[in-house]
Amino acid sequence: MAVTAMELKVKEIVANGGLPRSRKVDELRKLQSEARGIQRAGSEGPMSPDDGLQDDLRVVEKALHALDADVSEKGAATL
């Protein structure tokens, strides 16, 4: 199974021993927001059975969970 660009970014952030946990969480939240935006944009286009957008979001949320960070989306759009 191929490693995606998102998986590489997430692994790089999590493995960076120079970053404190709070900074890792901040960086992962940026990726989470980016992945959600891309996923929303993708849902407005033609349907693709396996475009990988859901997988990217899952990778980021799994890393946030591993760092004991809340994975729920923050902001007015949260239901």
- Kindly report the backbone phi and psi dihedral angles of residue 38, in degrees, each rounded to the nearest multiple of 5, phi listed first: -65, -40
Instruction: Please tell me the distance from the alpha carbon of residue 69 to that of residue 50, in angstroms, as a whole number.
Output: 28
Cβ–Cβ < 8 Å for 65, 71: yes
Q: What pLDDT shows up at residue 55?
A: 87
How many whole angstroms separate alpha carbon 48 and alpha carbon 24?
A: 31
Tell me the pTM.
0.76
The mean pLDDT values, 10 residues at a time, for the chain of 79 residues are 88 97 97 89 64 81 93 50
Q: Which residue has the tokens 């923050």?
A: 74
Strand extents, DSSP E, 1-79: none
Can you read off the two tokens belonging to residue 5? 């660009």
